[in-house]
Chains A and B, each alone.
Chain A
Amino acid sequence: MLLRLAWQSLLSRRLTVGLTVFAVALSVALFLGVEKVRTGAKDSFADTISDTDLIIGARSGGVQLLLYSVFRVGNATNNVTWESYQDIAAQPEIDWIVPISLGDSHRGFRVMGTSTEFFDRYKYRGGRNLTLVQGEHFEDLFDAAVGAEVAEQLGYEIGQEIIVAHGLASFTEHDDKPFRVAGILARTGTPVDRTVFVSLEAIEAIHIDWKNGARIPGQTVSADEVRGMELTPGAVTAAMIGVKSRLQIFGLQRWINEYPEEPLLAIIPGVALQELWDIIGVAERALIGVSAMVVATALLGMAAMIFSGLNERRREMAILRAVGARPWIIIALLTTEAALMALAGVLIGMALLYSGMGIARPYIDSAFGIYLPPEPPTLRELTVMAVVVVAGGLISLAPAWRAYRMSLTDGMMVRI
């Protein structure tokens, strides 16, 4: 009876109720959307690199190593000598090792020297492989494979000639040894998209006549000449390692961290990612805070709407009292109305969110690399929804209490 009265009463005030419900719906959609993007971003972030057991580099901070080796952010303080690299590669625990050589750039994108094994070993989003949209990885010494973002932003096609610049933001270019775009990688939503890949030998080749960041005067080696030369690198920036047995990860990590010949650092990518996320997490929590405030605002708006409607509803209250409704019925009626509004808001908000996500999912994935899996609401989301409905009911206790007081003092005198 109460529920039907509340429902009819709401229906009779469609416009104001509708707007209020819509405000709640939008706020809920926003809150849960932030929540979705947040978990999606966190998962995508954690999925940036998978199936790699250790990343090694010169001794610095774990987060720093992760940032420059995986995210191509910042710089290495030092390199790993080729001897150490070879030594580590020869350890029996090691299943595979992929070198990473960084330091050069191409029109704002980082150039990474590596072996072709990288394309088999680098996995993301729980074991997905890098795939090529066009072309090959690198066959020739001066072949380059470019990430999806690089190809899209610079409009690159297979066979196009590109020049690698020395350093990250410099005007000196390795223009004597141009590269050819040999392959374009499929979009991954990882830093791979923003990277130009060349072979480790090519990195060595373009620097063969350089020393201390500048060309050695009078000693130019042409692109053709360099092909005949010994191109073993002197050092690499970092390396990705897979071990034969997961049990060996910690042992090997300790061994590398205590490597006597050179100060090295080995990190477990998942652990370092978590550390990094903890740093970024402050912004994430701020975002949640803001969207929670939006929900609170919408609920307050609802309470204000109920308050403002009270005076015109005094008559309704008097009628209910006259036919024998106890005062708490008045409270229950208003609270039920508020809870119904909040429930409608939550449901519409969910519908908005999921339909919006259904439409925007491919775009968000390709544009931001955030994959939002089409999952049913999580327990946490359902909890949020329940909390909003309960909060809606609770917040309406204020106007309901006022209505109760009014109905007590009004009695049967129905004032307009």
Chain B
Amino acid sequence: MPAMAEVSSDIAVRLRSLEFAWPGRTEFSLSVPDFSIPRGEKLFLLGASGSGKSTLLSLICGITVPNKGTVEVDGTALSNLSGPERDRFRADHIGVIFQMFNLLPYATPLENILLPLSFAGERRRRLEDPKAEALRLTGALGLETELISSARAAELSIGQQQRVAAARALIGAPALIVADEPTSALDAGSQSAFLDLLMDQAEAAGATLLMVSHDERLAARFDRVEDLSRIAVAERRLRA
């Protein structure tokens, strides 16, 4: 762990007096007074669509920066970093799983899993044999080896794609896993199976898991459940 992270090693994510507005025709603003996720916690963030969850995740991932306030991830204030530094920070510390279409369709699943390592020096250094680790992860997530290395990502079923995406988020043990409705494209049976696998692997890697979903039924197995509308105020109005 880098020295910076040890300063507040018990906090994975912390947002303070954050204010953000998207520029554009529809003025959308989001403010978060104070919100934090302890290290290692599995947090379920309940949010309907339009509640600003994508914006929140963009802020946590350092893709967008707040107009006011601070975002700290793994003890590092993202607003103190330059754009490229934030990109490298994200690559090294955060694994992201989207709702669907997580993969570059033309690359093999294995190449997709190894993709973040091209940008993340720290995660790359933690691995002796990235390919073996990728196969170990996919094995643990219940995917066959041949499927991973030979097929193209586009040929996989959605369930398989999501598991490949999970492996990509987990590889090299980033501190934080951010999952944006990762199960909404799956059927009910697959949903819980996927969540089990994801949680097991996040726990094994010692990662903090932040999952956003509108589906309350999935909340049961998380350490903590928060409603986005309670921690953040989202406003959407047409600009005059």
Contact = CB atoms under 8 A, between A and B. Distances in A.
Interface of A: 1, 4-5, 8-9, 11-12, 315-316, 318-327, 329, 409, 411-414
10 smallest CB-CB distances across A and B, nearest first, come from A324-B91, A12-B106, A324-B119, A323-B116, A411-B58, A322-B96, A411-B63, A8-B106, A413-B54, A326-B87
B106 A9 contact: yes
Contacts of B37: none
Interface of B: 24, 54-55, 57-58, 61, 63-64, 83-84, 87-88, 90-92, 96, 98-99, 101-107, 111, 115-116, 118-120, 152, 154, 168, 180
Contacts of A327: 83, 87
B92 A316 contact: no
Contacts, number: 78
Contacts of A324: 87-88, 90-92, 116, 119-120
A319 B90 CA distance: 12
Contacts of B83: 326-327
A325 B168 CA distance: 14
A329 B87 CA distance: 11
Nearest to B165: A319
Nearest to A318: B98
A319 B106 contact: no
A412 B119 contact: no
Given A324-B91, A411-B64, A412-B63, A319 B102 contact: yes
Contacts of B99: 414
A302 B226 CA distance: 49
22 contacts: A8-B104, A12-B106, A12-B152, A315-B101, A319-B98, A319-B101, A320-B115, A322-B61, A322-B90, A322-B96, A322-B98, A323-B91, A323-B96, A324-B88, A324-B119, A326-B88, A326-B119, A327-B87, A411-B64, A412-B58, A412-B180, A413-B58
Nearest to A321: B63
B204 to A, nearest CB: 21
A12 B105 contact: yes
Contacts of A11: 106
Given A11-B106, A327-B83, A412-B96, 17 more contacts: A8-B107, A9-B104, A12-B152, A322-B61, A323-B96, A323-B120, A324-B90, A324-B92, A324-B119, A325-B91, A326-B88, A327-B87, A411-B64, A412-B57, A413-B54, A413-B55, A414-B98
B55 to A, nearest CB: 8
Contacts of A409: 24
Contacts of A315: 101
A412 B57 CA distance: 8
Interface centre among B57, B63, B90, B111 (most CB of A within 10 A): B63
A1 B130 CA distance: 15
A316 B63 contact: no
